[in-house]
Amino acid sequence: MIPISPMVLLLLGKILTVTEIKAPIRIDGRLEEIWYKADSVSDFIQFHPYLGESPGVRTVVRALQDDENLYFGIRCYGQPTVCLSGNEDFVLVAIDPFGSRTTAYYFRVYASGCFEDGWILDDGMSMDDSWDGVWYRGVKILPDRFEVEIKIPFKAIRYRSGLDEWGVQFKRYVASTKEEDYWTKVEELHEYQVSRFGILSGVRPLATGYHFEIYPEGYVRVDRFYGERDRIKPSGSLNLRWDLTPQTTLTGTFYPDFAQIESDPFELNLTRYPTHFKERRPFFLEGKEIFRFSDFGRGFFQPVEIYYSRRIGRLIEGEPVPIIGGMKLTSKSPLVDLGLLGAYTDSLQIEPRRFFGVGRTRFKIFRNSSLGLLLSGMRRDGSDYNYAFGFDGVYRHGSNQFIIDQAISDRNGKTDLATTGGYYGMNGRLLSLAAFETIGDSFDVSEIGYLPWPGRKKFLAYSGPFLQFRRGLLKYLYSGPAVIIKKNPGEERWCRLLGCTISPILRNNTGGDLSYYYGPYFEADTEYTYRNLNLSIWTNQGNTHLSIWSNYTHVYNYRRNFLANQAGLGLFFRQSIIPPLSLELKSHLWFEWDPDQKLIETTSLIRPKLKFVLNATTSLSIFNESVLTTPEHEWKETELYSNRLGLLFAWNLRPKSWFYIALNDYHSKEDRYQISAVKLKYLIYF
């Protein structure tokens, strides 16, 4: 190993050098003799509960590589907690193989052998668990420690060709003490900040050829509508992925079945805007980090979303529009990211055949900042189309981020502009965030994106001290004022709200948030005084997690078209009963009053769920979601709005290969049906 001077170490940060080996090693969790030839690091720093102090237990990490794989061996001293369904020890490895200082893969391995993977985005501001990669892991439990081996094939990830220094971060969680340790020092609000990663030196992928994946899917679905004959719907699809280079990937799908194994959750929407649902379909998840505008991941900022993948193959009366085929090309390089996507959908009921296209370019500047362009469009024929062209820029410096987005839309010849921007940062002990948006009255991306509030203009700002306490019960405390100025669509006058927030976090993983907003408000041709009070409390105590939240708002009710009070009360509870079995309970109450302050209806959601984890790759979940409505205070007249009983058996038989058995039994006052499904996704790669 080449010696490195202390001055270079100071300038570059922490370094772990990869040691080359000639042949692959067996991944079983046991660190054999070959591991002791590798460079190692053990200088972890505590993040929780006492920031910056030495860890209570020792962790040693080593790195190896052969021609085709990157390996990590991690020895975790101290007796581990192992629990398939609850709080247990884990290690996490994150790598930035492009030197982007903004984006990284992460690989998490629990002491039980369970695992997770995904993306770290926006320099740690956002996390995305939708990436499903090909990698291998092994865990060995010993009396005084546990050991983890991780194998990552170079062909399974994208990396910058010729770059021999990758960003890397290691994390260890100790369940018995709830201690969290990182290899490099991280900040309180930015624990996954990619720009603070250490260096993995000497990485030299030598694999030749192309990584090619064939991903067939087989699906049999049985629909049983009471009073009708059963409908049996067998189907098959083919998905392809071809890594043309380590930076460039071509993917395709032909007659895919995008039926959802898990349905979207019930949500009572009292606003004027449609609910935004998360993407779950594999073809659209691949490379989706390229097609998105930057975000802060904190909820106060809304990017100009001119590409919303759930518009493609959208649901019409519960049925997805069939997708005949789709192709996607993505490429990442040191200076620019590129993406092209095309999809063609079939007709369904009143929905005609349509073509969708998306193009994306993002240029990297100033180490970890970027400028980008995005073009999206839908076309049915010459007279029915929807196009949008947008620009986004993000500047990052330390803990500070600035974002600006702008786009122009064209819906059948009618055009308009939309602009949004925001800031998030820490300056000393002062935490500040701000956002603005101005959406043109005719801005319309309803067929390709999600920005359903044309004509809205808004500015908000929060700022206050973020205090940290080295010792004692209280760990963090944020408090500060807020200002929101907004003009709603169709209104001439501006709403002006003042608010305040206080958020304490205790050292025992308990926290809360209290906020209040007040001021003149104008919407739906109505002038009134807006009032909003929010209170939430949460705690995470090992195998028990509990969250309770409540809100009261005096606001316009778009479901009933009048101004009145609304309130909500929610609860989430999760408990590991025995190591393989956990109970999860979600409950939500919505209260609606009329303008005379009379309670007119209460809507209740109760969703218990049992999850039995057979082993690291196999699980069985059973849930029941009941939605009830109660008129006024007449609890004896409570009626069932809907009930959905679900069962899901999932077996991850090999990387990216899944076998599912699913059952959904749904009934309401108007309808009742059962859907049973068996699905197999099997990856063939070479």
The CATH number covering residue 193 comes to 2.60.40.1190
Q: What distance in Å separates the CA atoms of residue 237 and residue 281, rounded to the nearest whole number?
A: 13
Q: What distance in Å separates the CA atoms of residue 495 and residue 484, rounded to the nearest whole number?
A: 8
Q: What distance in Å separates the CA atoms of residue 335 and residue 329, rounded to the nearest whole number?
A: 17
Has residue 459 been placed in a domain? no
Confidence of residue 189 (pLDDT cuts 50, 70, 90): confident
| 3-state DSSP assignment of residue 368 | coil
Contact 318, 324 (CB under 8 A): no
With CA atoms as reference, report the closest residue to 591 among 625, 616, 557, 547: 557
Average per-residue pLDDT for the chain: 90
The predicted-structure confidence for 206-218, as pLDDT tens digits, reads as follows 875 567 888 888 8
The predicted-structure confidence for 235-250, as pLDDT tens digits, reads as follows 888 888 888 888 888 9
CA distances (Å), 659 to each of 126, 133, 469, in order?
A: 30, 17, 48
With CA atoms as reference, report the closest residue to 340 among 331, 351, 353, 349: 331
168 Cβ contact partners less than 8 Å away, ≥ 6 residues apart: 16, 93, 94, 95, 96, 183, 197, 198, 199, 200
Predicted pLDDT at 416: 97
Predicted pLDDT at 11: 40
Owner of token pair 């010696």 = 3
Predicted pLDDT at 510: 96
With CA atoms as reference, report the closest residue to 565 among 536, 535, 537, 590: 590
Q: What is the mean pLDDT of residues 54-80?
A: 96
- Determine whether 121 is exposed, middle or buried from the number of CB atoms within 10 Å of its CB (0-12, 13-18, 19+): buried
Contact 363, 371 (CB under 8 A): yes
Q: Kindly state the DSSP code that residue 310 receives in the 8-state scheme.
A: G
Q: What is the mean pLDDT of residues 133-160?
A: 93
The pTM of the full predicted model, rounded to 2 decimals, is 0.87
Find the farthest-apart pair of alpha carbons in the chain and give their distance in angstroms, rounded: 80
Q: What is the mean pLDDT of residues 508-516?
A: 96
With CA atoms as reference, report the closest residue to 305 among 259, 274, 344: 274
Lowest mean pLDDT among 370-374, 381-385, 436-440, 447-451: 381-385
- Determine whether 447 is exposed, middle or buried from the number of CB atoms within 10 Å of its CB (0-12, 13-18, 19+): buried
Task: Identify which has the larger pLDDT, 277 or 138.
Answer: 138
Contact 96, 166 (CB under 8 A): yes
Q: Kindly state the DSSP code that residue 322 receives in the 8-state scheme.
A: P
Predicted pLDDT at 322: 87
Q: What distance in Å separates the CA atoms of residue 279 and residue 652, rounded to the nearest whole number?
A: 20
Has residue 117 been placed in a domain? yes
With CA atoms as reference, report the closest residue to 175 among 541, 513, 458: 541
With CA atoms as reference, report the closest residue to 62 among 95, 31, 24, 84: 31
Provide the residue range defining the domain that includes 15.
6-201
| 3-state DSSP assignment of residue 13 | coil
Has residue 48 been placed in a domain? yes
Owner of token pair 């921007």 = 421
DSSP string, 220-280: EEEEEETTS--EEEEEEEEEEEEESSSSEEEEEEES-----SSPPPP----SSSPPP----
Q: Quick check: 551 pLDDT over 90?
A: yes
Predicted pLDDT at 274: 66
Which residues are paired to 41 by β-bridges?
61
Has residue 613 been placed in a domain? no
Q: Indicate the pairing of strand 59-65 with strand 19-20.
A: parallel
Structure tokens at 72: 């990590």
Q: What is the mean pLDDT of residues 155-164?
A: 88
Distance of CA 93 to the CA centre of its chain: 18
The residue type at 107: F
Q: Quick check: 264 pLDDT over 50?
A: no
Percent of the chain with pLDDT over 70: 95
Number of domains the chain contains: 1
Residue 49, preceding peptide bond in cis (omega within 30° of 0): yes
Contact 541, 573 (CB under 8 A): no
Distance of CA 332 to the CA centre of its chain: 21
Q: According to DSSP H, which parts of 565-629 are helical?
A: none
Q: Indicate the pairing of strand 69-77 with strand 104-110.
A: unpaired
Among 5-9, 167-171, 521-525, the range with the most confident prediction by mean pLDDT is 167-171
Among 322-336, 597-611, 664-678, the range with the most confident prediction by mean pLDDT is 597-611
Q: Quick check: 649 pLDDT over 90?
A: yes
Q: What distance in Å separates the CA atoms of residue 518 and residue 613, rounded to the nearest whole number?
A: 47
Lowest mean pLDDT among 42-46, 66-70, 277-281, 304-308: 277-281
Q: What distance in Å separates the CA atoms of residue 266 and residue 264, rounded to the nearest whole number?
A: 7
Task: Identify which has the larger pLDDT, 336 or 267.
Answer: 336
CA distances (Å), 90 to each of 75, 148, 613, 616, 622, in order?
A: 11, 9, 17, 13, 26
Confidence of residue 2 (pLDDT cuts 50, 70, 90): very low
Has residue 454 been placed in a domain? no
| 3-state DSSP assignment of residue 586 | strand
Which residues are paired to 514 by β-bridges?
502, 535
The residue type at 412: N
